[in-house]
Amino acid sequence: MKILFVDDERDVEDLFRQKFRKEIRSGKLELAFAFSGQEALELLSTDNPPKFVYVFSDINMPGMSGLELLEEIKSRFPLIQVSMISAYGDQENYDKAMSSGAKGFFTKPVDFDSLKKEISSLIEDRD
């Protein structure tokens, strides 16, 4: 299963690769990273239909915000599940994300146990 992580902070790539190393080695997950909303849309558009089944995006990014990216993904690629993450667990961002079709909403620091459960449920749904 191919997952796209979107965050303008480049150091998250090492963190996520470490946290999911077992799933990557076993072949259950393939991770890709984009460092802006625009880069994420370009990656999603390379295959038709996209090979990604899940996007995990930060909300606060320069340029296109994660909420704008969510709306664009849901409009162009409605089968892709999207979860949002924010350093600020405010109700307004949560409400906007969920009403725009987000599967989940996480706050930083990431609760990797919860994220792994969400991803596992996606894997089970595909099997």
pLDDT, one tens digit per residue, over 85-98 is: 998 878 999 999 99
- pLDDT, tens only, 3-61: 999 999 999 999 999 999 999 999 989 999 999 999 999 999 998 878 999 999 999 99
The model's pTM: 0.93
**By residue range, what is the domain housing residue 24?**
2-126
pLDDT at 127 over 80: no
pLDDT tier for residue 125 given thresholds of 50, 70 and 90: confident
Structural domain tally of the chain?
Answer: 1
CATH of the domain at 118: 3.40.50.2300
- Tell me how crowded residue 83 is: count the other CB atoms within 10 A of its CB: 20
Torsion sign over Cα 12, 96, 70, 28: positive
Q: What is the pLDDT of residue 48?
A: 80
DSSP-derived 3-state class of residue 18? helix
Residue 113 one-letter amino acid: D
Average confidence (pLDDT) over 62-83:
96
Average pLDDT, rounded, for the chain: 93
